[in-house]
């Protein structure tokens, strides 16, 4: 009981500080909230499940519905405020994933600039759970446009991923972004398993609507809690491919700052405090006291009063730090009457305000073929969803991917405190893979883009220097090198480093 009290106090500490103060929660905030809920829920959410389920639970013939004519209806002429001339097609609309209940997922699709008929198809999924892939992924990360500070006009992202792929953004699960259900109780049973199944049903129907993509090389990318969605959807596809007449041509998955393994609630805690210490946010005395007084490694949790005092000393000042990118400035203004000067190289910390304003404009929703009269609440970048099941680890699936020759890329923005890179590296170590190409510096325009290691079997890990939780927001150029190498199936370019030679002693 005492331990439980301590846990609750720990939760309060984290959330009073991190969530109470920000008016809207970021993708990383929502992720942390879920992790702590999982750690303290009784019984634990999805407690004993090590892996994921989402085995085949339906027949394809039962879920695939006719889609004729819908593609043409989904075509977007132009988004309000977009640059006049663009040389790619945009589509947006709904795919029903449960006819009986009336549950539909919203997608926004941008075809590639260039040879769209041969370039691969990439599905992008943001995390949360509850964050919109259209709001984050498309409008703040890898999509062709960014929203200006007036909340009305768009400007071009020259590092958009649709220069190398056809990119599909899915608001998943139901309750995120423009996705909706006609039964409000339906929204309260969201969880890992239904998310994977719904995304799969979405995908097979979407491929009916866009049949020219049926045989295309297919990749799934995502971030944060997408570290659950992406592998689980890939697993679902592999399961269904076994019986499908036309299997989905899944080639690889890429996940950024992902949640892939929770040994216990404390595992992240330990990495978090060490990360903040290594970045100069924590005194030697305090980290020493945390190391001695807090046991983050395994239950039962040994946490002393000294531990809580020291944790508080670290956490309290962080009210003035943006934890998704500890070096980013904080947002200090609202919408502006005229668009401010923008540079893709320095991400605007008020971006979510602009995106939220833009997505709530009726003319934008009309153009996107999305409509909030369907969802009955204002569009939000992240909505807090009730989560009924969540796997504690998706790592066992990685073994399945490598056996099926599905490439895996895991990457970490190296200044994210929400999922620090060391946390991800520790998780990956559990796979016991041997290194095919040891840790090396990779080249982004003759600078260190980060570091990478390639494992036997086809798993690549990479850090991205100077990137936060949302890597393509903070380092769009480096994220572009990353995705291009991944889609080309080649290692990240190596920086030429002088070889070691023994000094004369
Ligand atoms: C939800 O209900 C509305 C109004 O009855 C209907 O028009 C819409 O098609 C339903 N959505 C789904 C996905 O069935
Ligand atoms: C989550 O569940 C609680 C209790 O059932 C309910 O009050 C709340 O409205 C639900 N939230 C959402 C977003 O469904
Ligand atoms: C990795 O090695 C450890 C220690 O030998 C073992 O307990 C664990 O099951 C291995 N994991 C995998 C995925 O093979």
Say what the pTM is.
Answer: 0.91
CATH number of this structure's domain 60-263+331-403+415-434? 3.40.50.1820
Confidence band of 340 (pLDDT split at 50, 70, 90): confident
pLDDT for position 381? 94
Give me the long-range contacts of 274-283 (CB less than 8 A, separation at least 24).
Answer: 274/420, 274/422, 275/417, 275/420, 275/422, 276/314, 276/318, 276/326, 276/417, 279/326, 279/415, 281/314, 281/317, 281/318, 281/321, 281/326, 282/313, 282/314, 283/313
Q: Whose CA is nearest to atom 5 of ligand 3?
A: 432
pLDDT of 195-241, one tens digit each?
999 999 999 999 999 999 999 999 999 999 999 999 999 999 999 99
Annotation says 496 is catalytic = no
* Cis ω for the linkage preceding 39 (within 30 of 0): no
- Looking at every residue in the chain, the average pLDDT score rounds to 87
Enumerate the β-bridge partners of residue 461. Answer: 410, 453
pLDDT of 92-132, one tens digit each?
999 999 999 999 999 999 999 989 999 999 999 999 899 99
Residues shown for the chain: 505
Confidence band of 313 (pLDDT split at 50, 70, 90): confident
Is the CB of residue 489 less than 8 Å from the CB of residue 438?
no
Q: Which ligand is nearest to the CA of 397?
A: 3
Nearest C-alpha neighbor of 57 from the set 193, 174, 184, 153: 193
d(CA 399, CA 226): 18
51 lines ligand 2 (CB under 6 A): no
Please give the number of the atom of ligand 3 that sits closest to the Cα of 395. 13
395 lines ligand 3 (CB under 6 A): no
Question: Residue 318: is its pLDDT beyond 90?
Answer: no
d(CA 414, CA 268): 15
149, 172, 224, 473: the catalytic one is: 224
Annotation says 469 is catalytic = yes
Please give the number of the atom of ligand 3 that sits closest to the Cα of 431. 13
Angle at CA 354, nearest 5°, toward 348 and 356? 130
Q: How far is CA 224 from CA 89, 96, 133, 170, in A?
A: 28, 26, 12, 15
431 lines ligand 3 (CB under 6 A): yes
Would you state the structure tokens that stand for residue 473, as one six-digit string? 């927001």
How crowded is residue 305: how many other Cβ atoms within 10 Å of its Cβ?
A: 10
d(CA 102, CA 94): 11
pLDDT for position 311? 83
Q: Collapsing DSSP states into helix, strand and coil, what is residue 367?
A: helix
Mutate to test the pocket of ligand 1, among 95, 99, 102, 201 (most ligand atoms within 8 A of CB): 102
Question: Residue 459: is its pLDDT beyond 50?
Answer: yes
Annotation says 224 is catalytic = yes
State the DSSP code for 280.
Answer: T
Q: How far is the CA of 102 from the centre of ligand 1 (A)?
A: 6
Question: Residue 360: is its pLDDT beyond 50?
Answer: yes
d(CA 220, CA 143): 15
Give the mean model confidence (pLDDT) for residues 412-417. Answer: 95
pLDDT for position 4? 38
Nearest C-alpha neighbor of 137 from the set 501, 471, 427: 471
Q: Whose CA is nearest to atom 14 of ligand 1?
A: 102
Q: For residue 404, is it left (φ>0), alpha (ψ between -120 and 50) or beta?
A: alpha
98, 171, 416, 485: the catalytic one is: 416
Axis-axis angle for helices 266-278, 421-429 (nearest 10): 130
Least confident of 32-36, 348-352, 415-419, 477-481: 32-36
Q: Whose CA is nearest to atom 11 of ligand 2?
A: 386
């Amino acid at each position: 009981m005492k331990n439980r009290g301590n846990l609750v106090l720990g939760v309060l500490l984290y959330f009073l500080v991190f969530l109470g103060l920000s008016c809207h929660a970021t993708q990383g905030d929502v992720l942390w909230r879920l992790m702590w809920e999982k750690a303290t829920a009784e019984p634990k959410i999805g407690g004993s499940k090590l892996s994921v389920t989402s085995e085949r639970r339906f027949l394809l013939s039962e879920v695939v519905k006719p889609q004729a004519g819908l593609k043409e209806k989904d075509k977007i002429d132009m988004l309000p405020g977009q640059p006049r001339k663009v040389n790619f097609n945009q589509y947006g609309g709904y795919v029903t994933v449960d006819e009986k209940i009336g549950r539909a997922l919203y997608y926004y699709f941008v075809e590639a600039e260039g040879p769209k008929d041969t370039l691969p198809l990439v599905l992008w999924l943001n995390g949360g759970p509850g964050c919109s892939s259209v709001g984050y992924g498309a409008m703040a990360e890898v999509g062709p446009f960014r929203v200006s500070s007036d909340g009305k006009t768009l400007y071009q992202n020259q590092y958009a991923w649709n220069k190398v792929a056809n990119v599909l953004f899915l608001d998943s699960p139901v309750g995120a972004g423009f996705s909706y259900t006609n039964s409000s109780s339906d929204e309260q049973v969201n969880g890992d398993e239904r998310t994977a199944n719904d995304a799969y049903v979405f995908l097979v129907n979407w491929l009916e609507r866009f049949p020219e993509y049926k045989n295309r090389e297919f990749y799934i990318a995502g971030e944060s809690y997408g570290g659950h969605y992406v592998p689980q959807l890939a697993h679902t596809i592999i399961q269904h491919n076994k019986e499908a007449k036309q299997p989905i041509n899944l080639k690889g998955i890429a996940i950024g700052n992902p949640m892939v393994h929770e040994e216990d609630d404390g595992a992240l805690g330990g990495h978090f405090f060490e990360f903040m210490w290594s970045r100069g946010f924590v005194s030697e005395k305090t980290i020493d006291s945390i190391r001695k007084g807090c046991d983050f490694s395994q239950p039962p949790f040994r946490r002393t009063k000294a531990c809580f005092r020291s944790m508080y000393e670290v956490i309290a000042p962080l009210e003035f730090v943006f934890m998704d990118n500890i070096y980013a400035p904080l947002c200090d203004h609202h919408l502006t009457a005229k668009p401010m000067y923008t540079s893709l190289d320095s991400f605007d910390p008020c971006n979510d305000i602009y995106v939220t304003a833009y997505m709530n404009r009726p003319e934008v929703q009309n153009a996107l073929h999305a409509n909030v009269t369907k969802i009955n609440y204002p569009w939000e970048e992240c909505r807090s969803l009730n989560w009924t099941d969540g796997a504690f680890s998706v790592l066992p699936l990685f073994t399945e991917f490598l056996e099926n020759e599905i490439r895996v890329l895991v990457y970490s923005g190296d200044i994210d405190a929400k999922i620090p890179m060391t946390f991800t590296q520790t998780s990956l170590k559990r796979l016991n893979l041997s290194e095919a190409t040891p840790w090396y510096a990779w080249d982004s325009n003759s600078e260190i883009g980060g570091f990478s290691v390639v494992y036997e079997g086809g798993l690549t890990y990479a850090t991205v220097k100077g990137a936060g939780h949302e890597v393509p927001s903070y380092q769009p150029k480096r994220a572009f090198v990353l995705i291009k190498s991944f889609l080309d199936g080649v290692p990240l370019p190596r920086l030429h480093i002088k070889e070691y030679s023994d000094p004369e002693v």
